[in-house]
Structure 1
């Protein structure tokens, strides 16, 4: 009788061990079918390191791991969605190309510690900048407006569009390029077209900074539009 009880207990124990083994095998197979979230995260970080290699300053990157379980992938491809910022809080996409297809979007933080230009004193609107007006400050460029100025070289002669507070980051949107062409002045016209380039003279009908479009009245009375260049010159391309 005792032998029968022992054999029964051994049989039940064997069945339990077999069931546990089958559960372990099922879990292992299930895990093998899922993509390691750390691999997705590392792939996104590596992509952002390449994208930010040319940025000024010291770059640090943090990417959140995906929260959802995804099928295993043998070909990952990272990308930045249209409109995503190069610095600060941004989004990075990772898609699977094979064997299945899926796309996941991860939150990322790109910090760039570098120098940017600030004003020494309050500046009024239409103020002509000089080197004495500006200084450099260090901080996280990703937390500043995307058009913050990081290099003070070449800003002399630019005008402020509006008033700027002391210590404020200088932005390109707050600046107007020095006048390259002045209204009413004799203007040299450079007329470029397929196989020809002709120089002439005219009269500028408005003030314009370098790179702005401006209309010029030619000596014959015709009005043409071109791009202002330094030295009271306008280039017209046909």
Structure 2
């Protein structure tokens, strides 16, 4: 084989070996994800731990020194999900699976709760488990349940979710309510009859003595606030 051809083959093989050996080490990727998760999971209830998936040992990613970590739109920080890892040096982007566990206490029904029943402390109990395996609207604080009413029957032992409870009515159709009209530099109070039911923060319609119908925001004390 002529020397020139020999050199060309050697150079080609050397280039192939260099390209084949240009891989992204998994350790710095996991380190960047670990640091990101430590920040993102602050404030989560309970004890937090996680597992980070590995990279393909035969990946052909150019080695990277600077990473940007993020999550897909709408994805939770906990549970089984994927994180987006971008290399700011080489421009590549990959998805890395992670499993974030949150062990803590959550509320369950201590006994059967009937639809429409007002929740008291005696109706509640706590249970420990992985919150990431439960619905995202699971309740962990009894203050968010006590005083609310059940929107459906809840069997004993069932985890309490926010969508199973609703705030009690503060205004009932037909009752006499106080209307407070407020605006820049004035406040007027009068009475009327409620045309609709309403919970705190909801819009209530009220018919005044003169027949006029007004709409306002229902307050915890049973009044209706009309702003101008």
Aligned to 1:235: 225
| Matched positions, count | 215
Deviation, 1:164, is 0.7
d(CA) in 2 for partners of 1:178, 1:198: 27
2:79 aligned with 1:88, yes or no?
Answer: yes
Which moved further from structure 2: 140-149 or 213-222? 213-222
> Normalised by the size of structure 1, how large is the TM-score?
0.79
Contact 2:145 2:165 in 1 (8 A): no
Choose 1 or 2 for highest CA Rg.
1
Q: Is the 8 A contact 1:190 1:200 kept in 2?
A: yes
**Counterpart selection for 1:140 from 121, 130, 140:** 130
Q: 1:71 aligns with which of 46, 62, 67?
A: 62
**TM-score, normalization: structure 2?**
0.82
2:104 — aligned with what?
114
Q: Which residues of 2 match residues 23-172 of structure 1 at below 5 A?
A: 23=14, 27=17, 31=21, 33-67=22-56, 68-97=59-88, 99-153=89-143, 155-172=145-162
In 2 relative to 1, CA 133–75 (structure 1 residues): closer, same or farther, beyond 3 Å? same
What displacement does 1:237 show? 4.1
The answer for the alignment partner of 1:9 in structure 2 is none
1:211 aligns with 2:201: yes
Conserved? CA contact 1:181–1:230, under 8 Å: no
Deviation at 1:36, TM superposition (A): 2.1
Between the aligned partners of 1:95 and 1:204, the Cα distance in structure 2 is 57
Structure 2, unmatched stretches of 5+, are 1-5
User: 2: CA distance between counterparts of 1:220 and 1:70?
Assistant: 76
CA RMSD in angstroms comes to 2.5
Unaligned runs of 5+ in 1: 1-14
SS at match of 2:142: coil
